[in-house]
Amino acid sequence: MLGGVVVMLGTTALLAAGSVVAAPRSVPPGPDAPEAPVASEAPVASEAPGDGDVVTQPPSAAAPLFEQSGSGPQRVPVGPFTDSVLVDVTFEGGDVDPFTVTGVGAGDAATPFAIFANGTGSGRYLLPSTEGVVSLDVQAVGDWTIQLLPLDAARVWHGIDPIDGTGNDVVSYTGGGGTLSFTIDGDASSTITLVTYTPDGNAPAGFVLTQFGVLSGGGNLPAGPVLLDVGCAETWHLSIA
């Protein structure tokens, strides 16, 4: 699942042409944030991991709570929600064709949820139930598909083995606290944002890390269970020590 950069209050994503960029909702954008790089292809799912194996991104086994496809602009009724959900999007377009999805509340009220993209891509985003979204306003030139999935559709990471991904993802971390290390298969324009949320997806859980132009680094991750929102337009690798 592709997803990458950053962010403002609310679940917001900023994407460059052909990329899908994460935007965890509690990290304000830096004034010198670079443009997002183009995302690469999603990794192929592997067999169940053993000692030293890397956890890749298999397709979700959970049935979507909602799915709708379309072409061009459309308002998509989806709520209100009693529980937070994962939002999976795929979209097609030319390199400069915009693709945006914004959350709309009751009475057409604005909400923090937004995705901004160009080109062709896909991604997974966290939509908290507390944001009051009742519909998604899609602005697109080409074809698109939106799926809503329960939080238990997220990949589970116990922290014993490393985990890999490409683009935006939401991971259910169940391991102990420790030093989280990341590496990115990118260059000086690469970015990564890592934010933890409570298991219900409705509140930050004490860990925020944002790096621009840095291909490796880390920080102290709290013990799970937490949801780990990963924002990076390229292939990333995480491990816990």
pLDDT digits (tens, 9 = 90+) for 125-164: 999 999 999 999 999 999 999 999 999 999 999 999 999 9
Which of the four pLDDT bands, split at 50, 70 and 90, describes residue 62?
confident
The residue range of the domain holding 230 is: 46-59+154-240
Looking at residue 60, its pLDDT comes to 57
Domain assignment of residue 232, yes or no: yes
Domain assignment of residue 68, yes or no: no
Q: Which residues pair with 70 in a beta bridge?
A: 144
Cis peptide before 59 (omega within 30 of 0): no
User: In the predicted model, what is the mean pLDDT of residues 62-85?
Assistant: 95
| C-alpha–C-alpha distance, residues 125 and 88, integer Å | 6
| Sequential DSSP letters for 122-166 | EEEEEE-GGG---EEEEE-SSEEEEEEEEGGGSEEE-SSS-EEEE
Task: State the CATH number of the domain containing residue 168.
Answer: 2.60.120
Q: Tell me: pLDDT of 16 over 50.
A: no
Q: Tell me: pLDDT of 114 over 50.
A: yes
Say what the pTM is: 0.76
**To the nearest whole number, what is the mean pLDDT of the chain?**
81
Structure tokens at 15: 């994407």
Domain count for the chain: 1
Percent of the chain exceeding pLDDT 90 equals 66
Q: Is 140 or 22 the better-scoring residue by pLDDT? A: 140
Domain assignment of residue 114, yes or no: no
Domain assignment of residue 131, yes or no: no
Q: Tell me: pLDDT of 56 over 50.
A: no
Of 89, 52, 40, the residue nearest 235 (C-alpha) = 40
| C-alpha–C-alpha distance, residues 229 and 40, integer Å | 19
Domain assignment of residue 129, yes or no: no
Q: Tell me: pLDDT of 177 over 70.
A: yes
Looking at residue 26, its pLDDT comes to 34
Looking at residue 51, its pLDDT comes to 40
Domain assignment of residue 99, yes or no: no
Domain assignment of residue 12, yes or no: no
> Range with the lowest mean pLDDT among 5-14, 80-89, 122-131, 201-210?
5-14
Of 151, 147, 102, 156, the residue nearest 128 (C-alpha) = 151
Domain assignment of residue 161, yes or no: yes
